[in-house]
Chain A
Amino acid sequence: MVIFGASGDLTKRKLFPALYSLAARQLLPEKFGVVGVARTEESDDEFRERMKAAVQEFGRDDFREEVWQGLADGMHYVAGTADDGDEVFKHIDDALAGLDRDRGTGGNRVYYLAVPPSAFETIVEGIGKHRPSEGWTRLIVEKPFGHDLQSAQELNALLHRHFDETEIFRIDHYLGKETVQNMLAPRFANGIFEPIWNRQFIDHIQITVAETLGIEGRADYYEHAGAIRDIFQNHLLQLIALTAMEPPIDFTADSIRNEKVKVLKAMHTPGPKHVVRGQYGRGYIEGQEVPGYREEEGVDPSSMTETFVAAKLFVDNWRWADTPIYVRAGKRLARRETTIAIHFKRAPHPPFEEAAAEGLRPNVLLIHIQPDEGVSLAIGAKVPGQGLQIRTVHMDFLYGGAFRTDLPEAYERLLVDCMRGDASLFTREDEVIEQWQLVDAIVAFWRRDRPTFPNYAAGTWGPPSSDELLGRDGRAWRRH
């Protein structure tokens, strides 16, 4: 595995802790090695030491020296960037040849692009020219995959000059989360859900991707991306696709992705009134005052970048016609949560007196993706005692509680899948194109007006217009 961007945050916080956890569980291939590539000058040993410290700090498992040693023995480092020309790829080739010889990796390669998109082109060209003659080659590309439709198409064209679509793994780590995958299990492994998973029984769907964090020093990236490119274009649209897709004929990568792309194609562009954007001002998180977005380091004091986006979307097909899917995503919101809430229609004729059912809310199937992965169902139940009073109670299923095992980090699952050649949880070219088409259409009408920013205080649930988006339909966001 060759990691470009080996001195970056992603390598330190996610990739090496994931590789270590896989090694600890003996889930890495026996014949495995890593070549880190980055601008920083350092030796193999210095690279090993730095990654060891990262695993100790960010890993989810207790650190065991013998596990680490097994991984570290196959680690090498190449200093340089693709801008250094062919020279750096020759060094990489030498390191890889050594691994083929010493660890029997047989010319099989996973290249991980953990670098900014501006560096993609020279790296991809370099890898293309230096492909080994034997074994397989796979390329993992981190988001953002382009910044609009045109750039995404150009990037695809670049990748396809050297790689077949089956060799390209566009990563969206949300898709590696256990609950996202388990979206498919409740629907397709249980007889009771699928028959009611449609417009006849479901009133609407709410998807929330809320963070309490701000931009955490990533002003350069965020100023250009905003919430729509950072979360909406990838995570949110993928969550909609998984929620709304038809049953695939099997669980192979292409069958699942064929169904997802049909959902993305069936989504019509929301009108300007159906999309809300916001930017946070000063406010309170965990009782502490935090600065507004425009006061963050590196952010333009008159920035018009959105840190919140909400939309009312429709999937125009037989199953979902006229069923709104409300989505919202943002930074510095009231709590950290990623949830998919399926709001079922009210019982048609509750045979109770009105007062008895005052505490009753419609059934909601809530799929928690973070922080606690699990599923809960809100149902109406009788309050014990005299008379008849109905109240909503919860049936909870928490992953960790039911299966008594730690959930794997998303990157662990995705790295193994890539090594096995399973692309089910990676985004295919046509999905990316559909996602960007929708985003481009939204951004196009944003260019025509100038909202008043900031329009929500940090630590709240976004601008008032987000509540109005549902209020106009006689609905409200889930409150907590």
Chain B
Amino acid sequence: MAATLETVPAIERRLAALRLGDGGTRLRTNVMTHIAWVPTEWVEAAEDVLAGLAARHPSRTIVLFPQSDGDGLEGDVESESFAMSEGLTICTDTIRIRLHGTSAEHPTSVVEPLLISDLPVFLRWRGVPPFDGSAFEELTGVADRLIVDSTEWPDLPKPYARLAEIFERVAVSDIAWARTSRWRSMLASLWPAIGKVERIKVTGTEAQAHLLAGWLSSRLRKPIGLEHELSDKLVGVELDGRPAPFPPGNPPLPADLLSDELDKVSRDPVYEAAVLASV
């Protein structure tokens, strides 16, 4: 295993060496910089998702692991190659950095030198963001899009109010919202009858329940009562006590959900309205 890199210039040198070391035979291509903020409790889940991502979204991925102890940073860099059609191989870089002490509080000063010029920056934040924290404030300042999964958040819908405060600052994607996509399409197909609905019951995660109710309320421009039955995935919706039809197809995989969000670059006004209506 290569030695740990303790400075940003050392990481930059390793990146440059990897670029020169592949003999120019592999196409190194990027469409964005993808930053992932991964507190310790999310490490395993984050690595699983990243594993399926690079081939679909060739990007420079910077995974940040904030640590509560020590000082300075520990980084490593690896390149991954993917065989594409017609013998073409593309290659992407993943930089993993453990941030200790002040570098965990001020991560932008570590990340900014590593961003790829002129390409969008996506920030995946695992867990509930510390909305008042310097790290969150700084990183959303350099990102074009913040991606969260509010399924990971406790005490819903309270944190949605804090989330709504940053909509003017950075475009936001929510994977919990993406998971409701099939259901929203199905519910929309019930128009105009759905216009008379007063109450919704959602059997799914707390995030899905609040977002679906918020969505329905913002689309119909009227309050909608919410009843929630907890389940680890979205398995049923009732409208005014009557079960809604089950949408066709299979639920998407976690890597697919994140991948879809990485295709979006602008604000999602329908999601923002749903969040505002849910609080």
Binding site for B on A (CB under 8 A): 212, 283-289, 334-337, 339, 341, 355, 358-359, 361, 364, 366, 368, 371-372, 376, 378, 383, 389, 391-394, 396, 398, 400-402, 404, 459, 478-480
- Tell me whether B107 is interfacial, beta carbon within 8 Å: yes
A480–B102 CB distance below 8 A: no
B112–A480 CB distance below 8 A: yes
A286-B8, A391-B31 given as contacts; is B102 within 8 A of A478 (CB)? no
Complexed CA–CA distance, A286 and B112 (Å) = 9
Q: Chain A CB within 10 Å — which of B7, B24, B30, B33 has the most? A: B24
- Tell me whether B224 is interfacial, beta carbon within 8 Å: no
When distances are taken between beta carbons in the complex, the residues of chain B under 8 Å from A479 are: 142
Q: Select one of A289, A335, A394, A459 contacting B30, CB under 8 A.
A: A394
Stretch at the interface among B117-125, B204-212, B237-245: B117-125
Could you list some 10 contacts between A and B, CB below 8 A? Answer: A286-B73, A286-B103, A287-B103, A288-B72, A335-B113, A359-B120, A371-B12, A391-B31, A480-B112, A480-B119
A212–B113 CB distance below 8 A: yes
Residue of B nearest to A396 (CB): B28
- Tell me whether B266 is interfacial, beta carbon within 8 Å: yes
A287-B102, A358-B266, A361-B118 given as contacts; is B109 within 8 A of A459 (CB)? yes
A287-B106, A288-B102 given as contacts; is B24 within 8 A of A394 (CB)? no
- Tell me whether B108 is interfacial, beta carbon within 8 Å: yes
- Tell me whether B16 is interfacial, beta carbon within 8 Å: yes
- Tell me whether B19 is interfacial, beta carbon within 8 Å: yes
B20–A287 CB distance below 8 A: no
Q: Chain B CB within 10 Å — which of A286, A339, A341 has the most? A: A286
When distances are taken between beta carbons in the complex, the residues of chain B under 8 Å from A286 are: 7-8, 73, 103, 109-110
Within the complex, what minimum Cβ distance (angstroms) separates A462 from chain B? 13
Complexed CA–CA distance, A376 and B251 (Å) = 40
Q: Chain B CB within 10 Å — which of A285, A364, A393, A480 has the most? A: A480
- Tell me whether B115 is interfacial, beta carbon within 8 Å: yes
* Top 5 closest pairs, chain A to chain B, by CB: A287-B103, A335-B113, A284-B106, A480-B115, A359-B265
When distances are taken between beta carbons in the complex, the residues of chain B under 8 Å from A336 are: 113
- Tell me whether B101 is interfacial, beta carbon within 8 Å: yes
When distances are taken between beta carbons in the complex, the residues of chain B under 8 Å from A389 are: 263
Q: A284-B103, A400-B19, A480-B33 known; 20 other A-B pairs, CB under 8 Å?
A: A284-B108, A284-B109, A286-B109, A287-B103, A287-B110, A288-B72, A334-B112, A335-B113, A339-B117, A358-B266, A359-B266, A371-B12, A378-B118, A378-B119, A392-B119, A392-B120, A478-B117, A480-B116, A480-B117, A480-B118
